[in-house]
Structure 1
């Protein structure tokens, strides 16, 4: 049994920087990773998908270039080259993260799968064979989440795709059927439509991105349908069957009417589930909720003192930046004597469709549910000078404000550079800058940000 001061299970966006910080603080540290350093973000999430999104956007811009007076007669999507570029960037990021760990003194990297054997003891099945027994006073779980696989008849009989396996495609699917009309499904749907696939999105709810305001959902639907993406809402897939020809027949129920649809590939994108099964948390006495998420308090500590959970494995907002912030909270509390918690921290996010969908704080729906006295303002991108000049006026900016305090309570942006525009408003919210100040703020012309003047001028005080 090898003794450590601290053990980190999972080398994701919280685990890697935490391991380096702990080791630098003089703690004898081990980080255990069953697959690749960098976690979902670098290997299967942000890095590869946004690389592919960039290639897809280039294809889209080429197809739309005539509107700007540039006539491109013909272009070809080279999927093997697109995949090669994506793989190279992933390896660059992954290798950089691993090299950083390897160069850290007082830190052991262990490749294998960990399972608790007792309160703060564990066994690791090593990837290169054998087994290792470890223990530590401090344990940090950063094992992340994986694709949730729904119970659909015949799904196990086809070679369905997940957000991980679809990244390995070196060809363009003829017809991609996507189960799920939220962030992951829509990013991949638009991406592969631009690469040349026929795309159908099947969503159980009455609208896509159903967690957003209705007008946001309507705008996103209009944008995607303009690219000839077929969106079926109030729909469920009840059966999948693979034909001898290799084609797949999906039986879909829409508004109680059943019909069949033929496709070449199926992507499952209905959500994520925490990777806790193999951990044998019962042995450690660590509690989970009914979905398998590790239960933590506002300081990210489990019910067992000295054991923490960070990132997607604890449920809640499944974003890389939240995982990283979890690390900063835990480390600063333990080693810099801070008293930080996760209560009321901002949850910004951005869906990297084109245009982007970005949000911070309250939306109009939540404000109404809370019966708050608010005003909502909206500015179509068609009224934004920069959007007109660049030839992309899809989407709008929207903000929820308190007319009494003049504070910005939340904002949602669909538009080119939507994430960057949202972040400006987040900074204003964090710094207490009120909308009446932004209304007359001097921004450089002609930026997208400049139109925040016009957004808030619309409010009648």
Structure 2
């Protein structure tokens, strides 16, 4: 095998690995980026970009069917799944090709293949073209991410694979399923369940837990359940799948036996979580420790148990969001490239990964969106503070009424003494954008009464932040 030594070797081109490869190469470091499938990682190829592209198509279909609510009549609307898929592919391709060109123009050696450790800072790479390489580096960064988890259910492996879908394969369907059964009531299951309902599928959602999106507050989850059922999605909570039966004949139904009854459909979407891509890396050869779930153990500077080897992105666990992966990029860039950055590079103030990252924001792109930042109800007992909470339905928001988008609620928790905003949720139209306003206020140390007294433009969704605080108790 040929062997090449680099200053930096990055395994996986996700949302922290790719910009780090560009940053190290631009700083004069000889850099290699090892990628098994495609540049950009999950976000660009199977996550944020393609899913939100398709969700936009689903919203157009939804609004088209609701057009008479706004006084608009139209001819019969048809869904072209092939066009939806191609639009998604085109947008993804534009991102991946652009990212690859930038890497190559910066002098990064991009090697397409599957890598595994043979020593602490040495990797064997089975190249996609059939050749083999040995790659070593003074510094190694692991950015291999996660993949959809496959649950262990009796009979699942015997079902025609074309009818057992995950969050990647479901986006490659050329036709809308007749009846999609979604296993899992988390963010992935809800986004895809609502999308395919809007595209014309019958959708049944089976959730093991007692509520949808279990990490959310109970009242938020209950409001979301009402919205999902209002969209005519059949939801069953506290439901475990015991076995699955079917045949290879696609015109016959798949049957699922559960703790609450029997369900039949044409396709199954597995939305039961994700698992880290560490099992193929041979981490023992590098002395890299992992958790019981397979995530790589790191310190507050993202270094693993092997000196000079770092883990970035979803592979080390914690909040599995693209923006957190990108934050890992900033941490590594600051700590390891601080003296090499160009004078025009903004100064870095965050050099450690917070163990809690309490202000981590996130958005679920159901319609309406669910945006959240800060603490949840379950966290309040640990705060040892006297708190107050305000909840307000979106039907009280003028802009929501005017746009006929009144489903959902807003919720905020504050310190009763200091006025500090501790947590905020907006389950409503453009909930992620409204949440970002409150997040910015929290970052700047503003109190709830500062938002109450702010002069927001009228009519806007933001001005609901004048009124929410009247419901504190």
Normalising by structure 1, report the TM-score. 0.97
Task: Give the match for residue 142 of structure 1.
Answer: 143
How much has 1:369 moved relative to structure 2?
A: 5.2
Counterpart position of 1:340:
351
Partner deviation per Cα, 1:24-77 (whole Å, 9 max, x = no partner):
111100000000000000000000000000000001101111111112241011
Q: Aligned ranges for residues 85-164 of structure 1 at < 5 Å?
A: 85-105=87-107, 107-158=108-159, 159=161, 160-164=164-168
Q: Is the 8 A contact 1:439 1:453 kept in 2?
A: yes
Task: In structure 2, list runs of 5 or more residues that go unmatched.
Answer: 340-347
- CA root-mean-square deviation: 1.2
> What does residue 47 of structure 1 align with?
49
Give the superposition deviation at 1:370.
4.1
Counting only pairs closer than 5 Å after superposition, residues 316-395 of structure 1 correspond to structure 2 as: 316-336=318-338, 340-343=351-354, 344-345=356-357, 346-368=359-381, 370-395=383-408
Of residues 463, 469, 472, the one that matches 1:450 is 463
1: CA distance, partners of 2:271 / 2:381? 30
In the alignment, structure 1 segments of 5+ residues that lack a partner are: none
Q: Which residue of 2 aligns with 1:287?
A: 289
Cα distance, 1:211 vs structure 2? 0.9
Contact map agreement 1:364 1:376 (CA 8 A) in 2 = no
Structure 2 counterparts to residues 16-35 of structure 1, below 5 A: 16-35=18-37
Paired residues in the alignment total 455
Residue 64 of structure 2, aligned match among 53, 62, 65: 62
For 2:427 and 2:188, how far apart are their aligned partners in 1?
Answer: 16
CA shift at 1:371, angstroms? 4.6
Q: Which residue of 2 aligns with 1:411?
A: 424
SS of the residue aligned with 2:21? helix
Contact 1:381 1:396 survives alignment (8 Å): yes
188, 195, 198: which one aligns with 2:192: 188
- Residue 252, structure 1, aligned to residue 263, structure 2: no
Deviation at 1:96, TM superposition (A): 1.0
Deviations 1:327-370 (A, max 9, x none): 11011011216671111532100000000011000122321454
Residues 233 and 458 from structure 1, CA distance in 2 versus in 1: closer, same or farther, beyond 3 angstroms?
closer
- Which digits, 9 at most, give the CA deviation of each residue in 1:84-130, with x for residues without a partner? 1111111011111111111112x210000111000111110000111
The TM-score normalised by the length of structure 2 is 0.94
1:177 to 174, 181, 191: 181
Whether the aligned pair in 1 keeps the contact of 2:391 and 2:472 (CA below 8 Å) is no
> Does 1:2 find its partner at 2:12?
no
In structure 2, distance between residues paired with 1:372 and 1:220: 28
Shift of 1:441: 0.4
